[in-house]
A and B are shown apart, each in its own frame.
Chain A
Amino acid sequence: MGQEREEYIVEMRHITKRFPGIVANDDVTIQARQGEIYALLGENGAGKSTLMSMLYGMYEPDHGEIYIRGQKVNFRSASDAADANIGMVHQHFKLVENFTVAENITLGIEPMKKGLGIFPYVDLSEASRKIAEMSKSYGLEVDPKAVISDLGVSIRQRVEIMKMLYRQAEILIFDEPTAILTPQEVEYLLKSLEELRKGGKTVILITHKIEEIKKVADRCAILRRGKLIDVLDVRTTSTQEMANLMVGRTVALQTDKSEAKFGDPVLVVKDLSVRNEDKVQVVKDVSFTIRAGEVFAVAGVSGNGQVELADAIAGLVKTEKGSVTLLGKDITNDAIRDRVEEGITYIPEDRQKFGVFLDFNLRSNLALRRYYKEPFSHKGILNFDESQQYAERLIGEYDIRSGQGAKTSLRSMSGGNQQKAIVAREIEQHSPLIIFVQPTRGLDMGAIENIHKQILQERDRGAAILLISLELDEVMGLADTIGVIYNGQLLKIADAGTLSSQEIGRYMMGVTDNE
């Protein structure tokens, strides 16, 4: 491998990049051939994004060289990289929301015309035609005249891809493109990646999801803690092997679950309906019961009311009708803090927005559920020694990795460790009901494994768990009972063992038994 004198379209040789305190890339060499899908696999913080940021001109390497089509290059900015026909779809899209698709795609290279021979103006009619044509040939449906704010994430992503193609990019970098997509959308995206490969484009795919690599990639470079571990031929390597190499130890792809021991009902939801800000009914007459020691998982395509359902139970949104009963007590109209005291803890979907204070340190964030109580505060004065000790204990027990211990600000921690901190804080409440909304979104395998283990531990302790997840595998792996939500209604509630993933998939699309 690598010994044949083959023409590589992208070569990054012996790249080293240091940031204060860490070596993000340590002597990494990768080589991609034209027309292949080259995957970069690694956990969060393994240095994948940094490596690609250098290829895209956003950083310059401390050591090492980059060759494009055999020519040495020195990119100083993203536009240098764009001039070398490199394009990148970032995790956070760079789109102007009140612009149309065509305006976004042509931004920076606006096609000009002259009115009356003297007045220059931007003319998008020609560009729109070209975009429509390109979107057909790559199977990426977009309407050039649609305004971005009206479009969903997967279509916005297509716009980002079209942006690269419009600029004649030949080397396309995707940074965790599937993290924000639903299973159906992931399928669609992976198909378009194959379509791009067919068109002779070189695709570099940054991801930590092995199944995706298995599905589309030709070769896969594995990074761990900034170092290149291996470059594998995807076809001849097993999923388990890749997982082990990525994490650096043997990982359990299947979670071991002990026999469920159900207790008394903890949460009883009856005929619950919720309207959102636009007065649309997003949860409709939902009823279910969760017993102690039970994981009740709600499966569904994103945006079908599952988040609002969880928010209503946690008290973040008002219910329109119906009742929520916790341990026999009606809490439908209770304030959030009362619900917490009565035994609900909540791990929110958007952890940075609702789960933590990014600019507070770890100690304060860990004490958030208790700071107002003895011994964390006494007569309204905070006792920092107590919260310090508490934080140190949780950091140890839950393996929260932070640069400066309890003093670390949450902003400087990785997503996985932020989530660990939230989970630690919530689990420590030892509440009878724990609500997890998308608990593993955007996390890497090691962290996911860890959180799954903790969810099951809490279940075995006798907590009732409400799990809202878009990942069908997660639902199938953890749930004792599965409820499938579609358009605000629970279409099906059944024991986990009695439903296949195909059946769940059908309910998720709104197909019911009688049809």
Chain B
Amino acid sequence: MTYINSLITDGLAFALPLFIMAVGGIYSEKSGVTNLAVEGFQGFGAFIGALIATILSLKSGLGGQTIIYIAIAAAFVGGAVYAMLHALLCIYFDADQVISGVVINILGLALTTFLTSQINGVLFGNASNKFVLETSYRFSVPGLSSIPIIGAIFTKVYPFEILILVLGVFFWYLMYKTRYGMRLRACGENPQAVDAAGGNVYKIRFISVMISGGLSGIGGMCIAYSLLVQYSPNIYLGYGYLAIAAMIFGNWNIIPTFFVCIFFGLAKAGGNQLCLVMQLSSLYTNLFMIIPYVLTLVMMIFFSKRNHPPKAAGQPYDKGQR
């Protein structure tokens, strides 16, 4: 029973950060900018968040949980600012969007690793490559959490999980119900139509890529708090790519993507639990960690045919072209 409970609890704690990153990916791609840079965005965003958290806990008298919220906000800003580089390359310089995404990822890893040790050198006189973070507070909902099995959903919940759910609803609403969202989706399908209707394709795409970076940053920060309890180059473990896979299986729609992320989360947590149940040494956990990725490959076989990526994704918009 406890296995099942921690499967659900851990699964959700992983699935939700993955989900918010995937929403970030959707924002960029639906606006017509291919986004392989989620990995770099989440890492860079988390770096900024962790940096702010480290400085605040050193220099300010703020409480741990307050710092966590500030760190998440900082990760959003950091991711969004870093994403401007991708936006600039793809939208204004017509760079190949796949290459730009890969470059963003490599640059993110190199830059943040370098900066982390430099800043640590200045702050602590010790050039360590990680920022140690505080453990986030977790809560259980009284009553609900004691229901068998389902109760696990309400047990040991990170506050950021609630935040991500709220953001998920907000960004779903923004994409499907508002004027900006409608134009964003049109930009990813036929930017000429938006232009002819008086919309500014460049601006809409730029904002969307920034949102993409910001949401990815939040995802990265949450993973740093939950999975790693520190910020280190380990943040670039490939969860950004997993988020892209979730986006693709979710057919670039937010609600299906949510369920794909839950599935990935449960698969990953399931791998860990399986390892525990079978009382295997921790060496084998790595083997079980591949479960989400194997599932990705298997699902790809079944889903890739029915998928409809945004038509204009990957193509720079050229106003002159008719």
How far is it, in angstroms, between the C-alpha of A72 and the C-alpha of B178 when the chains are bound? Answer: 37
Contact, CB under 8 Å: A108 / B189: no
Q: B-side binding surface: helix, strand, loop or mixed?
A: helix
Q: Is B197 touching A121 in the complex (CB atoms < 8 A)?
A: no
Q: Which of A99-107, A245-253, A343-351 contacts B (4 or more CB under 8 A)?
A: A99-107
With A107-B197, A119-B173 known as contacts, the answer to whether A90 contacts B190 (CB < 8 A) is no
Residues 63-112 of B at the A interface (beta carbon under 8 Å): none
Residues of A within 8 A of B193 (CB): 94-96, 104, 107
Question: Would you call A92 and B186 a contact (CB within 8 A)?
Answer: no
Known: A96-B189, A96-B190, A97-B311. A82 touches B179 (CB 8 A): no
Residues from chain A with a CB closer than 8 A to the CB of B192 are 92, 94
Q: Does A493 contact B (CB under 8 A)?
A: no
Known: A78-B198, A107-B183, A108-B199. A98 touches B189 (CB 8 A): yes
* Contacting residues of chain A (105-119) with chain B, CB-CB under 8 angstroms: 107-110, 112, 119
Cβ A96 vs Cβ B198 within 8 A = no
For window 96-130 of chain B, which residues contact chain A by CB distance below 8 Å?
none
Question: Is B189 within 8 A of A99, CB to CB?
Answer: yes
- Residue contact A99 to B178, C-beta cutoff 8 Å: no
Residue in A78, A90, A110 whose Cβ sees the most chain B Cβ within 10 Å: A110
Quick check: A121 and B183 within 8 Å, CB to CB? no
Count how many pairs of residues, one from A and one from B, have CB atoms less than 8 Å apart in the complex: 62
By the criterion CB–CB under 8 Å, are B190 and A108 in contact? no
Known: A78-B198, A79-B198, A110-B182. A121 touches B322 (CB 8 A): no
Contact of B186 among A79, A90, A107 (CB under 8 A): A107
CA distance A79 to B194 in the complex (A): 11
Interface residue? B196 (CB, 8 A): yes
Q: For A109, what are the chain B residues with a Cβ–Cβ distance below 8 Å?
A: 197-198
Expressed in whole angstroms, the Cα–Cα distance for A110 and B198 within the complex equals 12
Looking at the complex, which one of B173, B182, B196, B311 makes contact with A103 (CB distance below 8 Å)?
Answer: B182
What distance in Å separates the Cβ of A26 from its nearest Cβ neighbour in chain B?
A: 22
Q: How many A residues face the partner with a CB closer than 8 A?
A: 22
Chain A nearest CB from B169 CB (Å) reads: 11
List residues of chain B with CB within 8 A of the CB of A94. 190, 192-193, 195-197
Q: Of B183, B185, B322, which one neighbours A90 at CB under 8 angstroms?
A: B322
Within 8 A of A (CB), among B252-275: none
Q: From the candidates A78, A90, A95, A107, name the one contacting B182 in the complex (CB within 8 A).
A: A107
Q: Is A120 part of the contact surface with B, judged by Cβ < 8 Å?
A: yes
Pair A122/B179 contact, Cβ less than 8 Å = yes
**Is B306 close to A, CB under 8 A?**
no
Q: B59 interface residue, CB < 8 Å from A? A: no
With A104-B193, A108-B197, A109-B197 in contact, do A96 and B186 touch (Cβ < 8 Å)? yes
List residues of chain B with CB within 8 A of the CB of A79.
198
CB of B177 within 8 Å of the partner chain = yes
Write the nearest CB–CB distance from A265 to chain B, whole angstroms.
Answer: 43
Residues of chain A lying within 8 A (CB to CB) of residue B194: 107-108
Question: Which chain A residues border B138 with CB–CB below 8 Å?
Answer: none
* A82 and B173 contacting across the interface, CB-CB below 8 Å: no
- Chain A residues with CB below 8 A from B182, complex form: 103, 107, 110, 122
Inter-chain contact B196/A122, CB cutoff 8 Å: no
CB distance from B321 to the nearest CB of A (A): 10
CA distance A121 to B172 in the complex (A): 12
Q: Which of B173, B177, B199, B311 has the most CB of A within 10 A?
A: B177
Leading 10 A-B pairs by shortest Cβ distance: A108-B197, A79-B198, A121-B177, A94-B193, A94-B196, A107-B197, A96-B189, A108-B198, A96-B186, A110-B179
Given A95-B193, A121-B177, A122-B179, list of 14 further CB < 8 A pairs?
A78-B198, A82-B198, A92-B192, A94-B193, A94-B196, A96-B185, A98-B189, A99-B185, A99-B186, A103-B182, A107-B197, A108-B183, A120-B179, A121-B178
Residue numbers of A with Cβ under 8 A of B are 78-79, 82, 90, 92, 94-99, 103-104, 107-110, 112, 119-122
B residues lining the A interface (CB < 8 Å): 173, 177-179, 182-183, 185-186, 189-190, 192-199, 308, 311, 322
30 inter-chain pairs at a CB distance below 8 angstroms, sorted by A residue, are A78-B195, A78-B198, A79-B198, A82-B198, A92-B192, A92-B322, A94-B193, A95-B190, A95-B193, A96-B190, A96-B193, A97-B189, A97-B311, A98-B185, A98-B189, A98-B308, A99-B185, A99-B189, A104-B193, A107-B182, A107-B186, A107-B194, A107-B197, A107-B199, A108-B196, A109-B198, A120-B178, A120-B179, A121-B177, A122-B179
